[in-house]
Amino acid sequence: MLKINKNSYLFILSTIFFLFAGWLAIAPLDRHDWLLENVLTVIFIIALMLSYRSFSLSATSYTFIFLFLLLHETGAHFTYAKVPYNTFFLEIFGFDLDALLGFERNQFDRLVHFLYGVLLVYPIYEIFKKYTQLKHFWRWFTAVNLIMTTSMIFELFEWAAAEFFGGDLGIAYLGTQGDVWDAHKDMALASLGALITMFISFRLTSKK
């Protein structure tokens, strides 16, 4: 079995991500929304790069972060409300996913909020494991709470940005698609995703 060291692996992930993000940056559906969507992304990536030597995570955590960022860049390219996943399923698999599942709106943003919890709660847990004295349960409890907190803060950031920019850009960035409970559902899905990862981890570790 081919083995690869962590630095080489992270170099491969970084190369794939920057090529993918660069490709999607060429002609996004809405350039202004794409720029707004990537403000926090750029800050986050810079923080990851600057902290790598002194605050390094496992390859697993970086893989989860990588997967989440790929999904986010996809949403930024199309705007979250217009990602053509249903067209993809129709062309590749020949069936209407939205009709099959009874969806009446574009659900890509819901998926990404859910996977925000699923994928990013583990890197947060790992930070608490490596750099704090918290016990196993409290690491997970605090990680899940941080997912909930950051989810809420992001919804407030979205609202503030939409209010500030207004017009079509504000609507595109907010992405509520007419659902007055959009922010609540997004936060609930992120929390659910984090809880699912937590419970799976408990099940796996309890069997060892």
Per-residue pLDDT at 170: 64
Tell me if 64 sits within 8 A of 122, measured CB to CB: yes
Give the start-to-end residue ranges of the domains of the chain: 6-206
Per-residue pLDDT at 159: 82
Least trusted range by pLDDT, from 14-18, 65-69, 98-102 = 98-102
Segment 46-96, tens digit of pLDDT = 999 998 888 889 999 999 999 999 999 999 999 998 999 999 999 998 889
Segment 130-156, tens digit of pLDDT = 888 888 889 999 999 999 999 999 888
Per-residue pLDDT at 175: 67
Instruction: Say which residues have a Cβ less than 8 Å from residue 127's Cβ, sequence separation at least 6.
Output: 55, 57
Rounded CA-CA distance 40/53 in Å is 22
Decide if pLDDT at 14 tops 80.
Answer: yes
**What are the angstrom distances between the C-alpha of 201 and each of 89, 130, 132, 140, 196?**
31, 17, 19, 9, 9
Instruction: Say which residues have a Cβ less than 8 Å from residue 202's Cβ, sequence separation at least 6.
Output: 140
pLDDT band of 180, cuts 50, 70, 90:
confident
